[in-house]
Structure 1
Amino acid sequence: MARTLAHPASTGNHLRLGAFVAAGALLAGCSTIGTGSDDDGASEDGATTGEGGGTVVLVTHDSFALSEDVIADFESSSGLTLETQAPGDGGALVNQLILTKDSPLGDVVFGIDTTFASRAIEEGVLDPYTSPNAGPDVEALAVDDEGYLSAVDVGDVCLNIDHEWFAEEGLEEPTSLTDLTDPAYVDLVVTTNPATSSPGLAFLLATVAEFGEDGWEQYWADLSANGLKVVSGWSDAYYVDFSGPSSEGDRPIALSYASSPPYEVGEGAEEAPTGAMLDTCFRQVEYAGVLAGAANPEGAQQVIDWLLSPEVQADIPENMYVYPADSSIELPESWERFAPLPEDPYTLDPAVITENREAWIQAWTDTVIG
């Protein structure tokens, strides 16, 4: 994923939306966040060895972002130096964790999402840990009973619609997946390839959940016949082909996120020019976990406690542009107005996703790409 994209309607980088632009190559990186000492608890080769201090390495995707003050407070209170490594998007992240599990890349991971959670657990790359900060919302989003992964944030993948385009054309807006196969909406939809895009995979899973094993392939055949456009990544779909205010295209229905519309709202505007089709959303949850074989497992546990703390949960929306797992956290005002979470998003059992992911992607490719 080519991740950090400036969103014209936001005050900063729309990191989380850019986070899901999949790339074919792994993006390897390493950075030290903060000013803590690297000496405490480190061996001659740089590995962390001590308890309750030294360096803790967070393996994540490269859209991980929190306020500098929040990170500095964590380092100050814990005595740890937080270092990050970013080997790629959610899929690449899990693949790298599996490939390196005999010599782990770090101590703790953040960014394993719903579509790869079961695989990470099955491959033995994680050690169980239940944080004292894991409240009922985190528990409700758990993917297993052993505590291998703790839910940190929620990001619903949804089709976004350009309200202004439909108003100007005098065309009634579609509201459901089935509506999109109606000839009235020919050549209006752009989505992303599930083989190269995390939101594309989430949208594929939404159709599997809606139409079942016997119907989802026919749905995609019908959608394709109705002029569907498929691109490789989110940035092309949203910034190139979508007709929204910050985009350059002519297609008024594009795959994005439930949290996208606030970033299209001009200063002082009472209404958002775009909106999420809430009946098309698939719920993606991002998780954190202690890596098996971690050099600093105590530090890893402290990082998970921190990610679930009210301070970090409140910092997530405006830095990573997803919803905190803790539903009691107050959201930015614009999110309350323009980015409501769907009440009944599509979901699938992570184990079912793991079992069928590759076969579904191949079947989708055969149906849509040919």
Structure 2
Amino acid sequence: MRRRTYLKTAGAATIAGLAGCAATPTGNGTDRPPRATIDGTPSGTLTVATYSSFTGEGTAGNYLKQAFEDEYPNVTVEFTVPANGVNQYIQRKRSGASIDADLYVGINTDDLVRADAELDDSLFMHSQDYLDRKDALKPALEIDPQGRAVPYDTGYISLVYDESAIDAPATFDDLLDPTYEDSLITQNAQQSDPGKAFLLWTIDAKGEDGYLDYWADLLDNGVQILDDWQPAYNAYMNEEAPMVVSYSTDQVFYGADADLTRHQIGFIEDQGYANPETMARFEATDQPALARLFMDFILQPEVQGQVAERNVQFPAVTDAQLDETFAELAHEPPEAVTFDYDELQGNVEEWTDEWARQVASK
């Protein structure tokens, strides 16, 4: 599927319909090495690089560490949080420094595009064909034509709004109406995953030739741009504006017993921007089989349910075991939209830089 991907999110029947056009991992055109296997009982230390909110008490990472170590008592899982995310490993590989991790959890499509653009050799190795659980993956979430980065969850970028203060805008053009003056908080696309996703969503809606004009109009209508999701959401909760760019799983975090007045979900154009998170083994790992085992473990139905609920995102597999509360409170858009790897390649950096020059500098 080499065009802009419109991901219908209407359930299993749609997933089956998409399966025929999902990208098939092709690798680099050479023969695959044999699948790395573990002789005897899995053992050793697995170092997993990730982002800070994935680890700590009550998080998906903490659950995974405990559950995996319970399943394999001779294995220790250690998390490391690089200050510069994937960029830290891009820089280390480019300079010839060692890679001090086996697996990265939390790669977005543009991270992978950037790594491939800046390095002569791949930072990550192929994994998808070697996973026992590969057939359970939702084809619409697969971001990597070479099968290195494997999805483990996804979020849909949407508006979160206060229904006591405002009606949700139906279209992108509605956001330019005086009714919504000073009403929206979003994030810096250079620093924030949801901020970049919202930018890409506007490019999809307005085109490469129109998105900067659209953002100029948003600025004229008082959009507030903050550094990242946390300060933006804090500002929203402090009632600095009645809408914020966030995730359509917002209500899951607060629960069914909470007052959800300020946690309503708005899908502009009846869409949300799909932002899959993926995991990939580093080429330099000396634990390829153990890292693959951990990836397969993350894709197990029960584990996927726990990851989705703790990470407040949708699962990446079709058979995840989710509780009723999650199913009730997590909202999927009628239509999801995203840019695939090929569309972002050679474009995303230029789009973001142009946006920053015109918008973020104001």
Q: Same fold (TM over 0.5)?
A: yes
Answer yes or no: is the 8 Å Cα contact 2:304–2:321 preserved in 1: no
Alignment of 1:207-222 (within 5 A): 207-222=202-217
The match for 1:160 is 160
2:92: which partner in 1?
100
Residue 305 of structure 1 aligns to a residue in which SS?
helix
Aligned partners of 2:136 and 2:319 also within 8 Å: no
Describe the shift of the 1:73–1:248 C-alpha distance in structure 2 as closer, same or farther (beyond 3 A).
closer
Shift in CA distance, 84/356, structure 1 to aligned 2, threshold 3 Å: same
Q: Secondary structure at the match of 1:213?
A: coil
Q: Which residue of 1 aligns with 2:65?
A: 71
Q: Is the 8 A contact 2:191 2:227 kept in 1?
A: yes
Letter in 2 for 1:63: S
- Please state whether the residue corresponding to 2:85 is helix, strand or coil: helix
Letter of the aligned partner of 1:248 in structure 2?
Answer: N
> TM-score of the superposition, structure 2-length normalised?
0.78
Alpha-carbon offset, residue 82 of structure 1 = 0.7
Q: Is the 8 A contact 2:152 2:279 kept in 1?
A: yes
Task: Give the Cα–Cα distance (whole angstroms) in 2 for the partners of residues 332 and 164 of structure 1.
Answer: 29
Counterpart-to-counterpart distance in 1, 2:102 and 2:349: 29
SS in 1 for 2:346: helix
- Structure 2 matches for 1:81-160, cutoff 5 A? 81-88=76-83, 92-101=84-93, 102=96, 103-121=98-116, 123=119, 124-130=122-128, 131-160=131-160
Identity fraction in percent:
29
CA deviation digits over 1:31-62, x for unaligned, max 9?
xxxxxxxxxxxxxxxxxxx9932111111112
Partner residue, 2:5: none
Structure 2: where are the runs of 5+ without partners?
1-39
Corresponding position: 1:191 with 2:186: yes
Task: State the shift of 1:298 in Å.
Answer: 1.2
State TM-score, norm by structure 1.
0.76
2:300, 2:320 within 8 Å by CA — same for their partners in 1? no
Superposition RMSD on alpha carbons, in Å? 2.3
Distance 2:137 2:178 in 1: 41
The 2-side partners of 1:128 and 1:268 are apart by 43
**Alpha-carbon separation, structure 1, partners of 2:41 and 2:284:** 15
Q: Is the 8 A contact 1:137 1:326 kept in 2?
A: yes
1:204 corresponds in structure 2 to 199
**Matched position secondary structure for 2:110:** coil
Question: What amino acid sits opposite 1:321 in the alignment?
Answer: V
Residues 138 and 150, structure 1, Cα contact 8 Å, conserved in 2: no
Cα displacement (A) at 1:67: 7.2
Distance change (3 Å), C-alpha of 1:187 and 1:145: closer
Alignment of 1:229-308 (within 5 A): 229-240=224-235, 242=236, 247-264=237-254, 267=257, 272-279=261-268, 281-308=272-299
Correspondence for 1:360: 351
Quick check: 2:226–2:232 contact (8 Å CA) kept in 1?
yes
Aligned residues: 307
> Structure 1 regions of 5+ residues with no counterpart?
1-49, 167-171
Taking the aligned partners of 1:304 and 1:323, their CA distance within structure 2 comes to 17
Q: Which residue of structure 1 lines up, in the alignment, with residue 308 of structure 2?
A: 317
Q: CA offsets per residue over residues 222-253 of structure 1, 9 Å max, x none?
A: 1111111111121222122x2xxxx1123111
Tell me, yes or no, if the aligned pair for 2:106 and 2:279 is still in contact at 8 Å: yes
Runs of 4+ in 1 over 6 A off after TM superposition: none
The whole-number CA distance in structure 2 between the counterparts of 1:230 and 1:86 is: 26
Contact 1:237-1:254 within 8 A present in 2 as well: yes
* Larger RCO, structure (CA 8 Å, separation 6 or more): 2
Q: 1:324 to 1:229 in 2, by over 3 A?
A: same
* SS in structure 2 at match of 1:317: helix
Matched-pair contact (CA < 8 Å) for 2:252–2:309: no
Paired letter, 1:365: A
Which secondary structure does the structure 2 equivalent of 1:81 belong to? strand
8 Å contact from structure 1 (residues 70, 311) kept in 2: no
Match of 2:52 in 1: 62
- Secondary structure, counterpart of 1:346 in structure 2: strand
CA contact (8 A) 1:51 1:296 kept: no
